[in-house]
Structure 1
């Protein structure tokens, strides 16, 4: 039996094209189409789909409100389809906070010509979440930026049950080793993430104090505009200063730098500033965790903490190998709290991970060890 998909979009053109594209896979069947958030809620109750694709801007009820209402009744994976604009990115991030599992940019030209690349990406994402035996969205405990510096509570928050348990993503974890404390030894923390990353990163960064002793760089797989919206949102929620990284921007303690979408982040040779270079078409991910890790290994040598969070694929594994060879440290998110256990599993199975840690404990360990 194919998996049941509910398509939610107010455009009849996108409704038709998405139904055609999704139905081209033998394991997927579009069982219903909703034109607004209210219809989506009603059809979800009537049809009980296995997964939903959700537009964000619709009449009567928007996509974010629909996500909240649906998730309050039943935990079901919802994939947001978003425009590439800054406003589209901002609203998509709200939908992820509301419980949507992931997003895909909705490009009119790609959908119009039904590109093979779009088909592959959409089918892969839908099936990744559908093959999980259970679903529970990651929950964050977000704190507003305070007027004065205060140390945040380290109270744990609920984590996501794994969505992907089949194939390479479910490979067994290499035994975790207790990582040595490295107080005063580190010069930078570099966090890499993909699917499920925005929520996981928010969970970590919003728990860190304003006087966290080393700079933090975030490499999250996101397109242009999304990283800008993400950094601004995270800055409002965090005690640390969060910015989208720019070329020649100086690296300072107490700051978090988000790699810009569509480009690659590296470090200058003396480690004092960030280099932003155009994204090479030969590299799948822009930004790439591997490239940032490789540059950090070359510049900072044995003074880096690399943290690999939830995500599809294996980006970060080869870069982690270079970090380990230079004498640096690698932590990985555990399977139970990962939305997709791909990137952390690749690093753990290569036996490069010094510690495998639940999402709810990563910030606490950063505060105690760094």
Structure 2
């Protein structure tokens, strides 16, 4: 049985969520009406996973999440709205350590909760087995334990800006050796659960003169991919944009697929373009990494492509990237230890589809090594 702690200030939402997981049959459920009660139950109930509302009176969900990840790191699935404000808050939650999120229905909860039930159960089951490194927020955890009396228990600890953290990490990484791949014309990235922080780690070390475009299929709702692109664009040296219309591929630019579409490629006047296309019903995840790679193969030779498959549930992109490697492309997989969920890259490795299986922090340096002239 998976021990699940449901944290929400709405009695109706608590009831509906509890009913969903009770019917699933493999959850032991505990309820918390707010952040303070949730924090108290971290030790008394020892949940395997927590669902956490962002908007609560008193201590809000982000502050509560911050406390959870410092005091007792536990897989957390955020319950978010589909508004742009909700997207920004959710992305912040993922940076703080949340494993995943579920978007609330737009209409009346009691009428539309069934629309998200299967997705919610799948995300919580996946989160329960997610990898939360013991080093998560370790420095802040140690610092908090040293504060005598915890004079400000509700205060969220200050964190270094993303640029600072990235610069410090990058300076400590050895640059892998490797021959350059001058024929490459594009990098294809598939990622899902745990994706936003992983993308920050992948794109952050790349310089403005990185010679290849990166095209990214991140499983995420449409209202979230635009804010994600803007957030990464502010944090990274390279340009990051959402694909909302056909765009020519340019070096030093990352193109993030829109959440309600798939990514396809074409040549216009001889120039490769990426565009958003209507989703195909037979694809389980969107934007589809599998379809992205298949479409890229119609425009580029295999030798002109590098695939990168990162943390995420399921197997999206694994088969297509394995075939890409067999046909002469180059493929990287994120390793299990650094993945929140080793579904997608694990499926790729099982197919013997990766040239290298690397920790998250080594993916960008390997791309830089391959890009060296």
Structure 2 CA distance for aligned equivalents of residues 131 and 277 of structure 1: 33
- For residues 28-68 of structure 1, the C-alpha deviation after alignment (integer angstroms, 9 at most, x for no partner) is 02212223x33322333443322210111121121111100
CA drift at 1:122: 2.1
Distance 1:325 1:311, change over 3 A: same
CA drift at 1:156: 4.7
Which residue is 1:298 aligned to?
298
Distance 1:133 1:246, change over 3 A: closer
**Would the aligned equivalents of 1:32 and 1:47 in 2 still touch at CA under 8 Å?**
no
1:256 counterpart SS class: strand
* Structure 1 unaligned residues grouped into runs of 5+: 158-177
1:273 counterpart SS class: strand
Which residue is 2:146 aligned to?
none
**Superposition pairs of residues 229-248 of structure 1, within 5 angstroms:** 229-248=227-246
- For residues 280-338 of structure 1, the C-alpha deviation after alignment (integer angstroms, 9 at most, x for no partner) is 23322220000111111221112010000011111002321442354211111111111
**Would the aligned equivalents of 1:142 and 1:203 in 2 still touch at CA under 8 Å?**
no
Structure 2 CA distance for aligned equivalents of residues 283 and 137 of structure 1: 36
Structure 2 CA distance for aligned equivalents of residues 321 and 203 of structure 1: 24
Structure 2 CA distance for aligned equivalents of residues 155 and 34 of structure 1: 43
Distance 1:75 1:363, change over 3 A: same
Which residue is 1:8 aligned to?
7
2:4 counterpart SS class: strand
CA drift at 1:202: 0.9
**Would the aligned equivalents of 1:7 and 1:53 in 2 still touch at CA under 8 Å?**
yes
Structure 1 CA distance for aligned equivalents of residues 169 and 41 of structure 2: 42
**Would the aligned equivalents of 2:6 and 2:31 in 1 still touch at CA under 8 Å?**
yes
Q: Which moved more, 1:230-239 or 1:130-139?
A: 130-139
- Equivalent residue pairs, number: 345
**Would the aligned equivalents of 1:7 and 1:33 in 2 still touch at CA under 8 Å?**
yes
1:155 is the counterpart of 2:172: yes
**Would the aligned equivalents of 1:144 and 1:238 in 2 still touch at CA under 8 Å?**
no
**Would the aligned equivalents of 1:6 and 1:52 in 2 still touch at CA under 8 Å?**
yes
Q: Which moved more, 1:203-212 or 1:107-116?
A: 107-116
Structure 2 CA distance for aligned equivalents of residues 203 and 96 of structure 1: 13
Which residue is 1:171 aligned to?
none
Which residue is 2:254 aligned to?
256
Q: Which moved more, 1:318-327 or 1:77-86?
A: 318-327
Structure 1 CA distance for aligned equivalents of residues 91 and 78 of structure 2: 10
Which residue is 1:143 aligned to?
163
**Superposition pairs of residues 67-78 of structure 1, within 5 angstroms:** 67-78=65-76
2:180 counterpart SS class: coil
CA drift at 1:346: 1.2
**Superposition pairs of residues 301-340 of structure 1, within 5 angstroms:** 301=301, 302-340=303-341
1:64 counterpart SS class: helix
Which residue is 1:195 aligned to?
193
TM-score, length-normalised on structure 1?
0.85
1:273 is the counterpart of 2:290: no
CA drift at 1:144: 6.8
* Structure 2 unaligned residues grouped into runs of 5+: 138-159
1:33 is the counterpart of 2:50: no
1:365 is the counterpart of 2:359: no
**Would the aligned equivalents of 1:310 and 1:338 in 2 still touch at CA under 8 Å?**
yes
Root-mean-square deviation (Å): 2.8
User: Which one of 103, 106, 123 corresponds to residue 105 of structure 1?
Assistant: 103
Structure 2 CA distance for aligned equivalents of residues 132 and 154 of structure 1: 28
Q: Which has the higher helix share?
A: 2
**Would the aligned equivalents of 1:246 and 1:274 in 2 still touch at CA under 8 Å?**
no
1:21 is the counterpart of 2:1: no
**Would the aligned equivalents of 1:294 and 1:322 in 2 still touch at CA under 8 Å?**
no
CA drift at 1:120: 2.6
1:182 counterpart SS class: coil
Q: Which moved more, 1:302-311 or 1:207-216?
A: 207-216
